[in-house]
Each structure stands twice: as C-alpha cells, then as structure tokens.
C-alpha cells in the first residue's frame, strides 16, 4: 500500500479518503516485528495522540543506539517521543 503518503496537492488521494471512511484504523505492514498502523479517522487520531502510554514513535529500542557513538542518538524527529521530540522540534 503506497498511497498513505501520496497527495493530490494538499488533499489525500481518493483511495486514502475511502479507507478513512470505511477503516479509520488500518494495519499497513510489519517492521522489525511490530505492526505499523495508519490512523486516518479524526476521532481515532485524537485518541492515539492523547495516549502517549500506549502509542509510540520511538524506534530506538528496536535499532542500534550507538550509530552516532552515543546512547543518546535520536535518529530523527519522526522516530522519537517527548521529551526528545519536543526538544528537537
């Protein structure tokens, strides 16, 4: 499934809009033994963003942490949770 990142201008492609209406939470793939989910429904997205205990973007425990020679290597804004995410923003 390639269309979660595709856009027509600023709008999502029609396939993504259809999934948002029928399946607001969709499993896209598995990566490093973990499920990757697409959350496209507004109500569902608000619930995920508000629950930092159950949901995370931090993949550092799944990959080598010494790539930059330190345990504090972040690896990118999109792969972190607060407080590191907040500091990097």
pLDDT tens across 50-86, in order? 898 888 878 777 766 555 555 455 566 777 888 877 8
Q: What is the dihedral of CA 82, 56, 51, 44, to 10 degrees?
A: 130
Query: Model-level pTM greater than 0.75?
Result: no
Which residues are 25's β-sheet partners? 39
At 73, give phi and psi (nearest 5°).
Answer: -55, 130
CA distances from 63 to 9, 74, 75 (A): 34, 11, 10
CA distances from 13 to 26, 39, 81 (A): 16, 15, 28
């Amino acid at each position: 499934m390639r269309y979660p990142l595709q856009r027509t201008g600023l709008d999502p492609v029609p396939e993504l809009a259809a999934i948002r209406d029928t399946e607001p939470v969709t499993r896209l793939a598995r990566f490093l033994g973990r499920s990757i989910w697409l959350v496209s429904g507004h109500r569902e997205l608000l619930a995920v963003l508000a629950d930092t205990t159950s949901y995370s973007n931090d993949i550092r425990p799944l990959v080598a942490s010494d790539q930059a020679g330190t345990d504090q290597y972040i690896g990118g804004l999109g792969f972190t949770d607060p407080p590191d995410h907040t500091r990097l923003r």
